[in-house]
Structure 1
Amino acid sequence: MSIEKKTSKTLLLVGNPNVGKSVIFTRLTGVRALSSNYPGTTVGFMEGCLRYKSEAYRIIDVPGAYTLDPTNEAEQVARRMIDEGADLAVIVLDATALERNLYLAFQTMERGLPTIIALNMVDEARHRGITIDVGKLESLLGVPVIPTVALSGVGISKLIERIPEARTGHVAPLSSEERWQKIGSIIGQVQKVVHRHHTLRDTLEDLSVHPLWGGLIGILVIAVSFYVIRLIGEGLIDHVLDPLVAKFWIPFLIKLSEALKGWPLAQHLLVGNLIDGSINMEQSFGLLSTGLYVPIVMVLPYVFSFYLALSFLEDVGYLPRFAVLFDALFHRLGLHGYAVVPALLGLGCNVPGILATRVLESERERFIAATLISVAIPCAGLQAMIVGVIGHLGIRYVFITYGVLFLAWVIIGRILHMTMPGYSPELIVEIPPYRIPSVRDLFFKLWFRLKGFFKEAIPLVMVGVLLINALYMTGAITVITGILKPIFTNLLGLPAEAAAPIIMGLLRKDVAVGMLATLNLSPSQLVVATVTLAMTFPCIATFIVLWKELGGKKMTGSLAIMIISALTAGTLLRIALSLSF
């Protein structure tokens, strides 16, 4: 259902990160919502609508912020949204951290915006021995305060009923020191904390951020997540999508191909080349064959399973802890801990990995993260071929391949960090308690992410297929291969025939590795060729998304880094292997 453009009032949903604001947004709007970026930024926000009695509200989920004195791009956007004016605001407070949450609430109310407070997570506060006098808090603030439990929906109907009661409250403009003094006075009057015994959940929360145990738990979480992701992804491909394609889509394409025999150009563009007299969904490169098969059958199942795992880890409350554990390492690469999210997604598919760089705050961070994903993080399909093809040579060659990619990731990251202007902002993240996620909200979040994939990735792959067809139809790919043959022979120690498969990596890197395996290369040559392939041009889907996210100028810089890095790594690896084996 589309969002109505004309609504009588605009309502801002304001709060710190991890206070349950997005869940309340979902409760208020249901599925009648859309996501977009704030103009001139990469900060996303959600927009939906709510009807209550005769009133209609346009609800905007303002990016999470700790303060309206901005320390990052998200807080800059939050401030601009609030300052630009709205009819009213619902400020979501975390009842387990009321003192810190009230600072943003005061700043918002000081702007004279009619306000209503949603005191969320009152169940968790109770479990922690925290009791809050809601009536007294409402009296001191001068605005309605409604206790809620967003995950279960408790208090949401009362919140909706009291939206018309939003008021400006008793808060006047204050200095930072005066604001904290006022907050301290309020906390002393409304909040009581009693002793509570340490629970198993408390122990697990402490262990998961411990330098040693947190790392071990992180490794376990990654291992289990990737097992589940691969299980779901491969299960969907092998048992659902491939059988459907074989039963329904390929017969349709065969009939279409026969009908278009009199129009060879249309036949080639829509259906593609026949491989050994039949349609090969991976290599025919028609818009309706490879153009749809690659994003929907080969990529979408892994995107679905990755986003499912990611959403679960977010809603459970583990992901911020994971980011904290990796923050020190990523800072050495010019990033902060949340860059682990795009990196993990990139291990499934580089497309969602690069799209996920939007969670990072600066253009500098997004460029570094996107480049590192494209150069040194192999997608699931490429990993499967590395293990399958290189693994037959011996496990040491698999370790060499992954070792070189990891070293490239670290070294390129360090070089970019030292040479690119700007700085890496500190990781400021609220670590929420562990929670049991809501299945409804988890799949709502998953649906929005998949909608973004369908909207952005699939059209880009179709454009890429058209581009590749143009290269082949004009003979440009043959010219490019001829130009690059001396480089492959002299620098990488590979036969001239290896140039074509590596260039084919622009289409499908996993297919290209399979083509390398047919050239009777020595083990050392095959490893060099595979590493070079993995680090050069990303597949066409990733290439197009990289172009869209970075822009033409920065994408060109990123590609230059890829080419130089791949040739350097391949050459040094050839020399090292010739001395060692």
Structure 2
Amino acid sequence: MTGQSDKKLLLAGNPNVGKSALFTRITGVHAVSSNYPGTTVGFLEGWLRRSDDAWRVIDVPGAYTLNPTNEAEEVAERLVNDGADAIIIVLDATALERNLFLAFQIMERRLPVLIALNMVDEARHKGIEIDPERLEKLLAVPVVPTVAVTGEGISRLLDRLPEASAGREVPSSREDRWAAIGQVIEQVQKVRHRHHTLMDKLEDASVNSFWGLVIGIAVIAASFTAIRFVGEGLIEHLLDPLFHRFWMPVVNAVSNFFGGSGFLHDIVAGRMIDGSIDFEQSFGLLTTGLYVPIVMVLPYVVSFYAMLSFLEDFGYLPRLAVIFDALLHRIGLHGFAIVPSLLGFGCNVPGILATRVLDSARERFIAATLISVAIPCAGLQAMIIGAVGDIGMKWVAVVYGTLFLSWLILGRLLHTLLPGYSPELIVEIPPYRIPSINAMGLKLWMRVRGFFLEAVPLVLVGILLISFMDAAGITAYLSRMLAPVFSGLLGLPAEAAGPILLGILRKDVAVGMLATLGLSPAQLVVATITLSMTFPCIATFIVLWRELGGKRLAASMGIMIVSALTAGVTVRLLLSLNV
């Protein structure tokens, strides 16, 4: 939708003021996600048709100030400074004073603005009364009360787009600006006493040092259980049967076309496993290349992002970040790193992609490396519990305990040794609110589409690369060359080198292969720990390359290898002392 009458409309405001819900109301679900050039910060773009004009609507990243303190605020400043035909400043009516600071900064630019005084329903529930007409006269710009999640006031807001104006001149120095904001608040806002509701008490409890931690652990446990239940359900009852019923005949036809064997057959359809095609182990472009991202990874991506969107829109996610901030700061991260870390337990690929929510390249490197080293994906966890659990759950506890300690120790070392610092967590705690289904649906669609566009092609490229390496004998050569290292350092038989190296293709399959080698319990535990912490699977490897770049990927891989060998040798020695 382009033409000479195209205009640009920005939606600007603090985080958690309802911009995403307003964006969805204005544009529907027809939106695209873009990264601002030179950054990892994304924003949404959509289109609005109003009279004879087509508006390109941009959802500006949430910002508290246009004097940037992080990458998201840098992008917000650039988008505002680039100018627009109109800017809708979205204000949270329950926190008007804080929100007006950013509004005044935008008005200093003398751009045409109008104000959406959002969440006026929540303000009323909190005993906050705001006079929008008086606010409009004081600021000399259109002010429209709205409730974005229900659509209240949206039509009137859009009708007043032509009235957008630069408004009154506002003070430029910080002290004078706050003084002017205070004068505005005195004239437009009244607060009456109200009793705490059950929701208010829950809000207070969820940031309490003790109950907040209890609630946080309960939410994480419940979320993870729901994600596993939905993900495994989609795999077992929907996607896997569909693949075998409708896609397997196509793959078999391709396999027969290529004669059932040969180089091209193995590249396209994959190797025959016990005389037939196996979607998980054949490693062909049409088999493992599609089955892994669509059947084995996508269900966890969908279920996790659905849960993440709910927690975001409900208002709990900032509270979770605050609760875990103290722990994560000790390893060079801030509280929001809990999000990609949790996602990694479903699948490392979306976990790595989710590190984009972090503010600095240093934090993203630490988080991505820790996810790759010490957070087992759902498939790997299933094999750890199945294969290692067969010899006793105490051995499973040893594996998970080692991974957790490695996460803590490695994180602390990286925090100490890498230059730079972890920025403080500065986040506004929003009130709890009932999420908008439409807004959640748009977020889920954009994130799942982003996964398809970014991860699936990378997995296909990785499968192709590994297939060439296997056909050329490189994989077998590396197994033979590294066998003495595994035997000498880790006390493993030479044949264990092959499965551990195979982990770069599929770690869960590799654990299954280790279980067939007749290893002692101690050897199986050491081999599983080493496999879990060393080379990431090919999908994660490719995404790491995409997110970190060649140099940082090489550094991350070096850290993984050293960490895996150190943990493996340490566990071997400790277990030998107890034998």
Aligned letter for 1:303? V
Does residue 511 in structure 1 map to residue 499 in structure 2? Answer: no
1:418-567 equivalences in 2 (<5 Å): 418-567=416-565
The correspondence for 1:342, drawn from 327, 340, 343, is 340
Matched, 1:276 2:274: yes
State yes or no: 1:195 paired with 2:193: yes
Count of residue pairs the alignment pairs up = 579
Amino acid across the alignment from 1:481? S
Alignment match, 2:287: 289
Deviation track 1:347-367 (CA, whole Å, cap 9, x = no partner) reads 100000000000001000000
1:98 to 2:109 alignment: no
User: Which AA in structure 1 matches 2:339?
Assistant: V
Where 1:274 maps in the other structure, the secondary structure is: coil
Partner SS, residue 116 of structure 1 = strand
Shift of 1:32: 2.1
> What is residue 412 of structure 2 aligned with on the other side?
414
For residue 209 of structure 1, give the secondary structure of its aligned residue in structure 2.
coil
Give matches, 1:386-397, under 5 Å. Answer: 386-397=384-395
Q: Is the 8 A contact 2:132 2:144 kept in 1?
A: yes
Asked whether 1:234 is paired with 2:200, we answer no
- The code of the aligned residue for 1:159 comes to L
| More displaced stretch, 529-538 vs 241-250 | 241-250
Aligned partners of 1:7 and 1:58 also within 8 Å: no
Amino acid at match of 1:499: A
**1:71 corresponding residue in structure 2:** 69
Residue pair 1:29, 1:48 contacting (<8 A) in 2 also:
yes
Which TM-score applies when normalising by structure 1?
A: 0.98
Give the Å deviation of 1:266: 2.7
Question: Contact 2:391 / 2:521 at 8 angstroms: preserved in 1?
Answer: yes
Could you say which residue in structure 2 is the equivalent of 1:144?
A: 142
Question: Structure 1 residue 392: deviation in Å?
Answer: 1.6
> How many Å apart are 1:10 and its aligned residue?
1.1
Cα 1:158–1:331 shift into 2, 3 Å = same
1:25-104 to structure 2, matched below 5 A, reads 25-104=23-102
Tell me if the contact between 1:118 and 1:146 (Cα under 8 Å) persists in the aligned partners. yes
**Aligned counterpart for 1:171 among listed residues 166, 169, 172:** 169
Separation of aligned partners in 2, 1:296 and 1:435: 33
Say whether the 8 Å CA contact 1:508–1:539 is kept in structure 2.
yes
Where in structure 1 do 4 or more consecutive aligned residues deviate above 4 Å? Answer: none
Task: Identify the residue that residue 319 of structure 2 maps to in structure 1.
Answer: 321
Q: CA deviation at 1:241?
A: 1.0
Report the residue type matching 2:165 in the other structure: R
Q: Secondary structure of 1:428's partner?
A: coil
Q: What is the rounded CA distance, in whole Å, between the counterparts of 2:396 and 2:264 in structure 1? A: 43
Shifted more, 210-219 versus 564-573: the winner is 210-219
Q: Could you list the runs of 5+ residues in structure 1 that have no partner in the other structure?
A: none
Relative to structure 2, which stretch is displaced further, 77-86 or 516-525? 77-86
Distance 1:13 1:255 in 2: 52
Letter in 2 for 1:18: N
3-state SS of 2:554 partner: helix
Q: How far off its partner does 1:244 sit? A: 1.1
Displacement of 1:262 in angstroms is 8.9
Letter in 2 for 1:271: A
Amino acid in the other structure paired with 1:281: F
Q: What is the alpha-carbon distance in structure 2 between the residues aligned to residue 39 and residue 498 of structure 1?
A: 46
CA RMSD of aligned residues (A): 1.1
**Structure 2 residue 172 is matched with structure 1 residue 208:** no
Paired residue for 1:8, among 6, 9, 22? 6
Distance across 2 between alignment mates of 1:242 and 1:91: 47
Q: 1:243 aligns with which of 241, 244, 247?
A: 241
Question: Secondary structure of 2:160's match?
Answer: helix
CA distance, structure 2, for counterparts of residue 7 and residue 249 of structure 1: 47
CA shift, 1:260, in A, is: 2.0
CA contact (8 A) 1:63 1:75 kept: yes
Within 1, Cα distance between the matches of 2:240 and 2:6? 49
CA distance in 2, matches of 1:247, 1:280: 13
Shift of 1:74: 1.0
Q: SS of 1:85's equivalent?
A: coil
SS at 1:60 equivalent: strand
One-letter identity of the residue aligned with 2:342: L
Q: Deviations over 1:227-265 (max 9, x none)?
A: 111111111111111111121111221112112229933
| Shift in alpha-carbon separation, 1:6–1:343, aligned structure 2, 3 A | farther
Contact 2:170 2:177 in 1 (8 A): no
Asked if structure 1 preserves the Cα contact closer than 8 Å seen for 2:318 and 2:427, the reply is yes
DSSP-derived class of the 1:35 partner: strand
Answer yes or no: is the 8 Å Cα contact 2:113–2:164 preserved in 1: yes
Post-superposition CA distance 1:155-192 (Å, at most 9, x none)? 11111111111011012342100100000000000000
Letter of the 1:314 counterpart: E
2: CA distance, partners of 1:262 / 1:551: 38
Please report how far the alpha carbon of residue 6 of structure 1 lies from its aligned counterpart in structure 2 after TM superposition.
6.1
Match of 1:19, as an amino acid? V
- Which residues of structure 2 form unaligned runs of 5+? none
Task: Measure how far apart 1:81 and its partner are.
Answer: 1.2
> Could you report, residue by residue, the CA deviation over 1:501-550 in whole angstroms, capped at 9, with x for unpaired residues?
00010011011000000000000100000000000000000000000000
Distance 2:3 2:361 in 1: 32
Paired with 1:371 and 1:478, the residues of 2 have a C-alpha distance of 27
User: Cα offset for 1:316?
Assistant: 0.9
Work out the percentage of aligned pairs sharing the same amino acid.
Answer: 66
- Distance in 2 (alpha carbons) for counterparts of 1:268 and 1:400: 38
State how far apart, in whole Å, the 2-side matches of 1:574 and 1:18 are.
49
Question: What are the residue-to-residue correspondences of 1:393-404 with 2, within 5 Å?
Answer: 393-404=391-402
Counterpart in the other structure of 1:307: 305
Q: Which amino acid aligns with 2:188?
A: V
Structure 1 partner of 2:125: 127
| SS state at 2:57 partner | strand
Residues 24 and 438, structure 2, Cα contact 8 Å, conserved in 1: no
- SS of equivalent to 1:408: helix
Whether 2:572 is the aligned partner of 1:569: answer no
User: Cα distance 1:204–1:535, how it changes in 2: closer, same or farther (>3 A)?
Assistant: same
In 1, are the aligned partners of 2:97 and 2:181 still within 8 Å (CA)?
A: yes
